[in-house]
A and B are shown apart, each in its own frame.
Chain A
Amino acid sequence: MQGLDGTRERSQSMNIALTHLQRLEAESIHIFREVAASFSKPVMLYSVGKDSSVLMHLAMKAFYPAKPPFPFLHVDTTWKFREMIAFRDQMAQKLGFDLLVHVNEDGVRDGINPFDHGSNTHTHVMKTVALRQALDKYGFDAAFGGARRDEEKSRAKERIFSFRNAQHVWDPKNQRPEMWKIFNTRIAPGESIRVFPLSNWTELDIWQYILQENIPIVPLYFAKERPVVERDGMLIMKDDDRMQLRPGETVESRLVRFRTLGCYPLTGAIESDADTLEAIVGEMLTARTSERQGRLIDRDEAGSMEKKKREGYF
């Protein structure tokens, strides 16, 4: 049937409203495609966590039926949970994406580790410097990250397309205006853009989306009896023998899960019996603390995230 404007009338046209998650998904896919169309050498930073899982799922959707036209890069600090590494390799095989793994070999040679050198030095050498090395080595001009604005107050200030100079430095006081969905993707040689397709997602959105789309995540997010040590007010899982017990410390088996994942000595577990996605979402709804509370590195000093970001951290 022809309508007055020449298009076919659709009886349901008035009822179509996108859901909140559909809108977020569409925005992220739009961002992925914009980068693929505008940059010559993009890469996706894959940190193996839940946000990375969502990011990867969205990348698969954005380019379907093709594969994402860029590789995935994991910056391995050598202190990730063993289950994360197993999950990473399993996903790479299952989805068939091109996985690059980079380790800062200088840091390994110097024996940098979170126990002896503290979270600050460890993170700087094994994550920030390692990332800069990897980006320079491959000459990537755009790098996707899974950061969200609701995570932390300096992230709340960052653009979706976040400019970095040739030294990978973020200048938070002089960001490019970002109008509508019109992104300025122009850079000079050596400069790059960090791109955050999940900028407008909240932690709850992430979990709801994982539940809705049945996205695989590392089993560490689900509650299970695990060997943990109480240290500095956090529950640290003893993932391997490199963690030495201090006097008075004991390894206990407790029913715990992780709200975020990073280097195991720096990531606090929470006591929880949530062993399904539904239970995790239910727990989220009553949470009284933020997810970054379980991250030792954010507590190093005031404004520590901004400082790390200015140095090139994601």
Chain B
Amino acid sequence: MRHILAKSLAPTDGIREYMAAQEKKSLLRFLTCGSVDDGKSTLIGRLLSDTKQIFEDQLAALERDSRKHGTTGDDIDFALLVDGLEAEREQGITIDVAYRFFATPKRKFIVADTPGHEQYTRNMATGASTADLAIVLIDARQGVLRQTRRHSIIASLLGIRHIVLAVNKIDLVDFDQAVFDRIVEDYRQFSHELGFQTIAPIPMSARYGDNVTSRSDKTAWYSGPTLIEHLETVSVDEAAVELPFRFPVQYVNRPNLDFRGFAGTIASGQVAQGDEVVVAKSGKASRVKRIVAHGGDLTQAVAGQAITLVLDDEVEVSRGNMLVSPAARPQVADQFAANIVWFDEAALLPGRSYILRTETDQTSATVTDLKYRVNVNDFAREAAKSLDMNEVGICNISTRAPIAFDTFADNRTTGAFILIDRITNATVGAGMILHTLRRAENIHWQSLDVGKRGRSDLKGQRPAVFWFTGLSGSGKSTIANLLEKKLFASGRHTYILDGDNVRHGLNRDLGFTDADRVENIRRVAEVAKLMADAGLIVIVSFISPFSAERRMARELMADGEFVEVFVDTPFEECARRDPKGLYARALNGEIKNFTGVDSPYEAPEKPEIHLKTLGKTAEEMVEALEHWLNERDIAEDQYEAGGGI
């Protein structure tokens, strides 16, 4: 009967010994990848079956499914064992990564079966990110294909250093050594730049089991190990414990006033009670007082352990920071270069703001420069304006706040990040940090004794940045000029940053391409920020056509300081006024990239102040601006006096 289990064969007192032996086994995490129909899922089914990991009821279900959906005639279709989603079984393809578990007497394995279709590359990357070895399958009849190359490049970028080149379906080419040798040579040629430490080519038939778990008598010319022999013995140790101590703080555990513990997982290295540690971002030093664990304090802990550290003194540390070895510190910077794999249907655009997330830290980030895209076929570096879904490129990244990191080559845990779309919250890309950019390196924040508050108090005002945006000729400069005159007359300290004037000096090297417009705004926003820090009321009068850059400027300023003023004059009216004669020339095609003509203007959706200029005088509009400023100052004073908001 089916509900009867075999009686236990192992004597009870042997169980603990058995468990001790189990515990000593090492773990290998690997993935199967390669092009569609190269037999990835079939191979995993074969591995599970041959290592006796499939239970009788699962086998019975598999037989039923094979008759319904199978593609292997009367034989069991092992792919159905891992293609667990209905859509996958119906379409006969793998959409998402499946994780399976098996063990042999020598090792435990977690295998990620990943999809071959290009459109599901992000799911392949998901499987690869936690793997130490990749089995790259190749259909012996097809040889090295585009997806073979793409997957190999992604595996390499994600830090995988060990490859099994599984030349599958060798039965369909009559077990021909020449075919095998040619494919192996092709792959070695192609992959020599990818930095793999081992490449183990194995001729096999996943469907019939040749050289999977048992040696095939049809490939007498092959003298290497079977797949399972290789997986059981290949050494992939990364020895994270030998690297410098890195402890990204994940959670501050503060159940009462007497206990403040920093919880997290040791990313690399080791730590012992009494060790000196340094807070990565502030450079403050402290000592480990206790390593707290349920069931008693530890004297030391190593990479991979999830622990709680208590420090000797009350240094400031919060989630996102890192406790590190004083002798070998991570980098702390807000600008760095990284490899990016892009996942989203909406392309990566330089200048756009994304959420950047490391294991525990989060900040906003922009790609300041897309240096090049990598062609997955021949590694050619191609100039690109954007990265489309499944593309790979090298980018310069700028973050709003500095983050602590190592290069990905030095540390797979502290050198990686993901990018998240601010609107959809989708995970749109993965990044591997290459190096800090020189301009951020070695320049540390100087802490100054006189602050923004003191400087603005001396002037008897609160800083503000009025950011005028609108078409050329909409009236920005006129209104800005009048606003400054009136503020000046009332004793305020002000400054106007005018688009045309700044382009004669600070930004004289910039043109009017999209990339230069983004840089134009970035520089002006930074200058406005410095002036606000000096306590001034800054009036910025720039067309600033892209909402992403205006958002970037907004995020640079303190809360309540940024006032977006939309000077809203219809295009036809601006073209009619045409104070500088520019519209006439642009409409004649004499000026390229003119906003509103052949370059877009993205109107603000929620400006603080929306000035519809038609039928209004500059005086009326400036009154509205002054009113806003007075209201804000009154509200802030009340708030500070304890009146709330």
Complex Cα gap A281–B22 (Å)? 12
B293 CB-CB contact with A under 8 Å: yes
B11 CB contacts on chain A under 8 angstroms: 282
Mask: chain A, 255-280; 1 = CB below 8 Å from B; 0 = not? 00000000000001111111010110
A287 CB contacts on chain B under 8 angstroms: 5-6, 55
Complex Cα gap A273–B626 (Å)? 85
Is there contact, CB below 8 Å, between B98 and A18?
A: no
Is there contact, CB below 8 Å, between A278 and B12?
A: yes
A-B contact list, 9 entries, CB within 8 Å: A5-B325, A23-B27, A26-B265, A26-B306, A153-B98, A178-B126, A212-B19, A272-B5, A279-B15
Complex Cα gap A286–B319 (Å)? 46
Distance between A142 CB and nearest chain B CB, rounded to angstroms = 14
Mask: chain B, 83-110; 1 = CB below 8 Å from A; 0 = not? 1111101000001111111000000101
Is there contact, CB below 8 Å, between A177 and B430?
A: yes
B445 CB-CB contact with A under 8 Å: no
Is there contact, CB below 8 Å, between B98 and A22?
A: no
Stretch of B141-149, B162-170, B353-361 on the interface side: B353-361
Distance between A308 CB and nearest chain B CB, rounded to angstroms = 12
Is there contact, CB below 8 Å, between A289 and B55?
A: yes
Complex Cα gap A230–B19 (Å)? 35
Nearest 9 CB-CB pairs, A to B?
A153-B84, A6-B327, A66-B255, A282-B8, A29-B306, A64-B294, A290-B55, A26-B306, A61-B294
Is there contact, CB below 8 Å, between A172 and B96?
A: yes
Is there contact, CB below 8 Å, between B84 and A184?
A: no
Is there contact, CB below 8 Å, between A200 and B8?
A: no
Q: Given A13-B270, A19-B24, answer yes or no on A157-B250 (Cβ-Cβ < 8 Å).
A: no
Distance between A288 CB and nearest chain B CB, rounded to angstroms = 5
A290 CB contacts on chain B under 8 angstroms: 55, 57-58
Stretch of B218-226, B416-424, B446-454 on the interface side: B416-424
A108 CB-CB contact with B under 8 Å: no
Q: Given A19-B23, A153-B84, answer yes or no on A176-B245 (Cβ-Cβ < 8 Å).
A: no
Complex Cα gap A16–B325 (Å)? 19
Is there contact, CB below 8 Å, between A271 and B4?
A: yes
**Interface SS majority for chain B:** mixed
Complex Cα gap A182–B250 (Å)? 11
B413 CB-CB contact with A under 8 Å: yes
- Given contact pairs A23-B304, A278-B13, a sample of 9 additional A-B residue pairs in the complex whose CB atoms are under 8 Å apart: A6-B328, A7-B245, A8-B275, A200-B99, A271-B4, A273-B7, A278-B15, A283-B7, A290-B57
Is there contact, CB below 8 Å, between B84 and A177?
A: no
Is there contact, CB below 8 Å, between A289 and B294?
A: no
Distance between A200 CB and nearest chain B CB, rounded to angstroms = 6
Is there contact, CB below 8 Å, between B241 and A200?
A: no
Most chain A CB atoms below 10 A, which of B12, B64, B244, B417:
B12
Q: Which of A150-191 contact B (CB under 8 A)?
A: 150, 152-157, 159, 172-173, 175-182, 184, 186-188
A269 CB contacts on chain B under 8 angstroms: 3
Is there contact, CB below 8 Å, between A306 and B4?
A: no
Complex Cα gap A233–B527 (Å)? 78
Pick the contact of A64: B14, B19, B308, B359 (CB < 8 A): B308
Is there contact, CB below 8 Å, between A156 and B82?
A: yes
Residue of B with least CB distance to A269: B3
Mask: chain B, 56-98; 1 = CB below 8 Å from A; 0 = not? 1110000011001000000000000111111101000001111
Q: Which of A26-48 contact B (CB under 8 A)?
A: 26-27, 29-30, 33-34, 36-37
B325 CB contacts on chain A under 8 angstroms: 5-7
Distance between B121 CB and nearest chain A CB, rounded to angstroms = 10
Pick the contact of B359: A7, A157, A180 (CB < 8 A): A180
Most chain B CB atoms below 10 A, which of A60, A62, A153, A289:
A153
B294 CB contacts on chain A under 8 angstroms: 60-61, 64
How many A residues touch the partner, as a band?
Answer: 35 or more
Complex Cα gap A95–B531 (Å)? 57
Complex Cα gap A150–B54 (Å)? 11
Pick the contact of A33: B110, B302, B306, B358 (CB < 8 A): B306
Mask: chain B, 179-191; 1 = CB below 8 Å from A; 0 = not? 0000000000000
Is there contact, CB below 8 Å, between B417 and A182?
A: yes
Is there contact, CB below 8 Å, between B305 and A18?
A: yes
Is there contact, CB below 8 Å, between B263 and A33?
A: yes
A65 CB-CB contact with B under 8 Å: yes
Most chain A CB atoms below 10 A, which of B15, B110, B355, B358:
B15
Is there contact, CB below 8 Å, between A234 and B245?
A: no
Complex Cα gap A279–B5 (Å)? 13
Q: Given A18-B302, A19-B24, answer yes or no on A179-B416 (Cβ-Cβ < 8 Å).
A: yes
B211 CB-CB contact with A under 8 Å: no
A245 CB-CB contact with B under 8 Å: no
B64 CB contacts on chain A under 8 angstroms: 302
Complex Cα gap A211–B390 (Å)? 45
Residue of B with least CB distance to A180: B129
B613 CB-CB contact with A under 8 Å: no
Distance between A124 CB and nearest chain B CB, rounded to angstroms = 18
Is there contact, CB below 8 Å, between B425 and A187?
A: yes
Is there contact, CB below 8 Å, between A20 and B25?
A: yes
Distance between B7 CB and nearest chain A CB, rounded to angstroms = 7
A155 CB contacts on chain B under 8 angstroms: 84
B444 CB-CB contact with A under 8 Å: no
A235 CB-CB contact with B under 8 Å: yes
A78 CB-CB contact with B under 8 Å: no
Complex Cα gap A17–B82 (Å)? 31
Q: Given A173-B85, A281-B15, answer yes or no on A293-B2 (Cβ-Cβ < 8 Å).
A: yes
A251 CB-CB contact with B under 8 Å: no
B125 CB contacts on chain A under 8 angstroms: 177, 179
Most chain A CB atoms below 10 A, which of B4, B85, B125, B254:
B85
A243 CB-CB contact with B under 8 Å: no
Pick the contact of A186: B10, B19, B108, B425 (CB < 8 A): B425
A173 CB contacts on chain B under 8 angstroms: 85, 87, 95-96
A66 CB contacts on chain B under 8 angstroms: 253-255, 259
B16 CB-CB contact with A under 8 Å: yes
B40 CB-CB contact with A under 8 Å: no
